[in-house]
Amino acid sequence: MDRQEAITESLKLVERSAVCMVGTITEDGFPNIKSIFNLKHDGFKRFWFSTNTSSRRVKQLQNDKRGCVYFLDEILGQGLMLVGTIEILQDIESKKLLWTEKSEKYYSFGTEDPDYAVLCFTAAQGNYYHELSNVDFEIK
């Protein structure tokens, strides 16, 4: 599989994935992973996720902004790992970007809720896996 085909298939995988895994690094240097809703993305350069400001994930990111996002289609045997950095956003514009009626379940004070934060993941590199092939690529 060539690089361009891997990128094309990676984008398709991102588009059809409702959930992905976000990996961060704990305060003591161990990897930590969590499933999260794939709410908004710009190709596979940037992804936005909602979370609680009081969450373990936010505390980890305050110490180390490195992270990864993993997408999986277990039926087709496809996987995509993106590595990069994650920024914690708490400005009202970022919060409105992801807000839906379902958000009220988690953030009762709306977009002004102090326990509502947005994570913005910016990818630097990708690795697409399918049928025993691994293709690495840079993301610009």
Residues 99-129 have pLDDT tens digits of 998 899 999 999 999 999 999 999 999 999 9
Tell me the pLDDT band of 53, cut-offs 50, 70 and 90: very high
For residue 73, what pLDDT band results from cuts at 50, 70 and 90?
very high
Tokens coding 92: 């009202």
Does 72 have pLDDT greater than 90? yes
Domain that holds residue 121: 3-138
| Number of separate domains in the chain | 1
Q: Which residues of 80-101 are buried (b: 16+ CB within 10 A; e: fewer)?
A: bbbbbebebbeeeebbebbbee
**Residue 44 binned pLDDT confidence (cut-offs 50, 70, 90):** confident
So what's the pLDDT on residue 1? Answer: 86
Taking the model in full, what pTM does it have?
0.93
What is the C-alpha separation between 16 and 7, in angstroms, rounded? Answer: 15
